[in-house]
Amino acid sequence: MRWTTASHLLTLCFSLATSTQAGRSDDISAQVGHHVVFSYPGLNPPTHLFDLIKQGKVGGIILFGENVADNISTIISDFQDAYKQSSTYVGSPLLIMTDQEGGIVRRLPGGPVQSAKQVGQSSNPRASATQSGKDAASALRNYQVNTNLAPVLGVYREAGDFLDNYGRSYGNTSALVATCGPAFISAQQAAGIIATAKHFPGLGAAGKTENTDEVPVTIDLTLDEIRAVDEIPYTKAIPAGVDMVMNSWALYPALDAKYPSGLSKAWIQDELRGRLGFQGVTITDAIEAGALHAFGDDAARGVLASQAGMDIILASARNVTQGEAVVTALVSALQDGSLSQESFSEATDRILALRKKITV
Ligand SMILES: *[C@@H]1O[C@H](CO)[C@@H](O)[C@H](O)[C@H]1NC(C)=O
Ligand SMILES: *[C@@H]1O[C@H](CO)[C@@H](O)[C@H](O)[C@H]1NC(C)=O
Ligand SMILES: *[C@@H]1O[C@H](CO)[C@@H](O)[C@H](O)[C@H]1NC(C)=O
């Protein structure tokens, strides 16, 4: 179903209510809202976030450890209720997401207890990855979290490097990662939780201190090596039906010497969608990442990412104003034509199709 069809009723409501410019811009912001994931600080979500949900400006919320106490399920129900009561409700829940990779990277109580590295080193990696996917799904379901920003599909290169340091990579061969990643994805998605393969085309060659959250990172591999090693797990995860792909904020000059993968048409459109055939939803890594300091403020980065083909922008600075700034910038970019309405609406269709699958 096309967004233009999906939004028909909404448009009608707005045109009945008002035929002013304000009415049209509310309609655009309700579309843009689906594309922006918000975050907030601490254990008490601000009232303003609930107001924005009711206005349809929020597509989802990412949770961090600092947001999680015993009452997180109640808080998530409150988010979903606020959205259901809103005139912008499209009939499916907000995306509620977190990083539940396994091992030490877990934001919610519960599994997977094993890190990706432990899964890869186990006697039966495929079975362990399947169990981890099931465990992640049950932890998320317990708290009504419907989306996992996992698994990591990076193929690490050196002991103790960026991914290996915290046991986040299944292993140092693409065969092992391509066995474990899809097993995790299939098990978790079969249990009704959206999975995200990250960070395309891979952070396996990043050195220990090369953290895109903090600094610009260049991964200077040849295209042949990226395709022969780092992309192999994606060639298995995509046919396995992975729902989302998160692009990395590293720069890979082999295909694009200017824009990091998540801001790069070449990586998103030509390589991920074109060559590898991914038809699902793309999501950015943290839009506030230090890797992007050369690309303007968070709002400008959100526009660049959307122009390049990222469907969802992750405003994860635990600051509601940040998400609002991204929404405002995307509305302006659609209004002044710098962002293509046609491709943006195709992205909206993908996001709404994904949200229809949610059972949590
Ligand atoms: C949730 O629980 C925590 C810890 O008990 C508490 O500090 C916080 O105020 C609660 N938040 C809400 C919104 O009830
Ligand atoms: C992977 O790591 C093992 C053990 O540390 C090492 O023996 C092997 O050569 C590595 N393989 C590759 C492809 O780097
Ligand atoms: C929140 O985000 C806005 C917009 O990106 C920024 O201007 C502001 O400084 C941020 N506030 C905090 C406390 O980080």
Burial of residue 95 (number of CB atoms within 10 Å: 0-12, 13-18, 19+): buried
Q: Are 244 and 197 in contact (CB under 8 A)?
A: yes
The rounded mean pLDDT for the chain is 94
Q: Which residue has the CA at smallest separation from atom 7 of ligand 2?
A: 172
In the DSSP assignment, the letter for residue 194 is: B
Ligand 2 probe mutation, 164, 172, 230, 232, most atoms within 8 A of CB: 172
Distance, first Cα to last Cα, the chain: 22
Q: Can you give the pLDDT of all 360 residues of the chain as single tens digits?
A: 455 444 444 443 443 333 344 556 678 989 999 999 999 999 999 999 999 999 999 999 999 999 999 999 999 999 999 999 998 999 999 999 999 999 999 999 999 999 999 999 999 999 999 999 999 999 999 999 999 999 999 999 999 999 999 999 999 999 999 999 999 999 999 999 999 999 999 999 999 999 999 999 999 999 999 999 999 999 999 999 999 999 999 999 999 999 999 999 999 999 999 999 999 999 999 999 999 999 999 999 999 999 999 999 999 999 999 999 999 999 999 999 999 999 999 999 999 999 999 988
pTM, two decimals, is 0.94
pLDDT at 27: 84
Q: What is the DSSP string of 54-115?
A: HTT--SEEE--GGG-STTHHHHHHHHHHHHHTSTT--SSPPEEEE-EEETTEESSSS---S-
Q: Give the model confidence (pLDDT) of 86-103 as tens digits.
A: 989 999 999 999 999 999
The pairs formed by 156-162 with CB atoms below 8 angstroms and a separation of 24 or more are 156/204, 157/204, 157/205, 158/207, 160/208, 161/204, 161/205, 161/206, 161/207, 161/208, 162/203, 162/206, 162/207, 162/208, 162/209, 162/210, 162/211
Options 3.40.50.720, 1.20.1090.10, 3.30.70.1450, 3.20.20.300; CATH of 33-355: 3.20.20.300
Q: Give the model confidence (pLDDT) of 239-252 as tens digits.
A: 999 999 999 999 99
Q: Which residue has the CA at smallest separation from atom 6 of ligand 1?
A: 43
Ligand 2: does its nearest atom lie under 6 Å from the Cβ of 11?
no
Ligand 2: does its nearest atom lie under 6 Å from the Cβ of 121?
no
Q: Which ligand sits closest to the CA of 47?
A: 1
Ligand 1: does its nearest atom lie under 6 Å from the Cβ of 44?
yes
